[in-house]
Amino acid sequence: MPDLSAGDDAVAVSALRSAVMRLSRRLRHQRVDESLTPTEMSVLGTLARCGSATPGELARKEHVQPPSMTRIVALLETKGLVRMEPHPEDRRQKVVTRTERAESMLEESRRRRNAWLAELAEGLTEEEWATVRAAAPILDKLAQM
């Protein structure tokens, strides 16, 4: 494993962090529903990617404390974006499932963000765009670690 804490590698790590943070912040501004917090949107995205989950599983995936996730899920349920269903194996637990309304909202959000990114990408050269395409799976790998 390379030592990324010194010299040119440290500069590259810092530049990557800064660029990812700025791009992420700009992407968050492309939201469809301004009434949802970024955390609420993240929970809905996790449900879309991973399927239904218990509040405890969601808390682990989102790196928040279980009581915080309980509050987030309650807010999403109040907004009609998730529903609580009995756990198929453990009736003491509930499973959080996204609703059709959440699916529609997420799809519109993806469409809007993809269009925004595509518009930005039009300003890149062919070589720059090829580099971004090649980097996408690697960035995804970093995001999953």
Can you give the CATH number for the domain in which 49 is found?
1.10.10.10
Which residue, among 74, 89, 85, has the nearest Cα to 43 in the 3D structure? Answer: 74
Hey, how many other C-beta atoms are within 10 angstroms of the C-beta on 34?
A: 7
Domain assignment of residue 91, yes or no: yes
Residue 2 scores a pLDDT above 80: no
CA gap 94, 103 in Å, rounded: 20
Quick one: pLDDT band at residue 10, thresholds 50, 70, 90?
Answer: confident
Low-confidence winner among 28-37, 38-47, 96-105, 122-131 (lowest mean pLDDT) = 28-37
Domain assignment of residue 40, yes or no: yes
Domain assignment of residue 2, yes or no: no
CA gap 31, 75 in Å, rounded: 18
Domain assignment of residue 63, yes or no: yes
Domain assignment of residue 1, yes or no: no
pLDDT digits (tens, 9 = 90+) for 71-118: 999 999 999 999 999 888 888 889 999 999 999 999 998 999 999 999
* CA geometry: angle 97, 114, 11, nearest 5 deg: 105
The residue segments making up the domain with residue 69 are 9-144
Whether the model clears a pTM of 0.85, i.e. scores above it, the answer is no
